[in-house]
Amino acid sequence: MQRTLSSMEYTVDEESIALISRALAHPVRVRILKLLAGETCCFTGELTGLIPMAQSTISQHLKALLDAGLIQGQIDPPKVKYCINADHWLLAQELFMGFFGQGAADGCDCD
């Protein structure tokens, strides 16, 4: 995410929405989240069976979701369990609700 040289400052919410959106910006990550949200839990190994991508690639996508705080992992050697990070999930939900809930209601004379 390249930034301009000029000092452009964003609010925490703006940054948060952008950060979470980046995590959701690839359909396979949306798919993974759906799988994790549906099932109680999941191993990485099971995902490799469900998603036709290299194991390393899936691991990268999981890392992206981890970095965004949308999921969490728990080591259960030699496997790793991944699941939705409920707290952050709720925060993200509220964040997007607030964002999409704003404006666009009072019409626009472009129509």
Residues 6+ apart with CB under 8 A from 84: 33, 36, 37, 70, 71, 72
Q: Mask: binding to DNA, 73-102, rule CB under 7 A, as x and -? A: x-x-xxxx----------------------
Is residue 48 near a second copy by the rule CB under 8 A? no
Reduced to 3 states (helix: H, G, I; strand: E, B; else coil), residue 80 is: strand
Find the binder of a second copy among 46, 48, 59, 99 (CB under 8 A): 99
- Residue 55's binding partner among a second copy, DNA, none (Cβ under 5 to 8 angstroms by kind) is DNA
CB of 77 to a second copy, least distance (A): 15
Closest approach of a second copy to the CB of residue 46, in Å: 14
Contact status: 59 vs a second copy (CB under 8 A)? no
Question: Nearest Cα to 42, choosing from 67, 25, 65?
Answer: 65
Q: Residues 80, 84, 88, CA angle at the centre, nearest 5°?
A: 125
Q: Are 80 and 73 in contact, with CB atoms under 8 Å apart?
A: yes
The residue type of 79 is K
What does the binding site for DNA look like in residue numbers (CB under 7 A)? 1-6, 22, 25-26, 28, 43-46, 48, 53-57, 59-64, 73, 75, 77-80
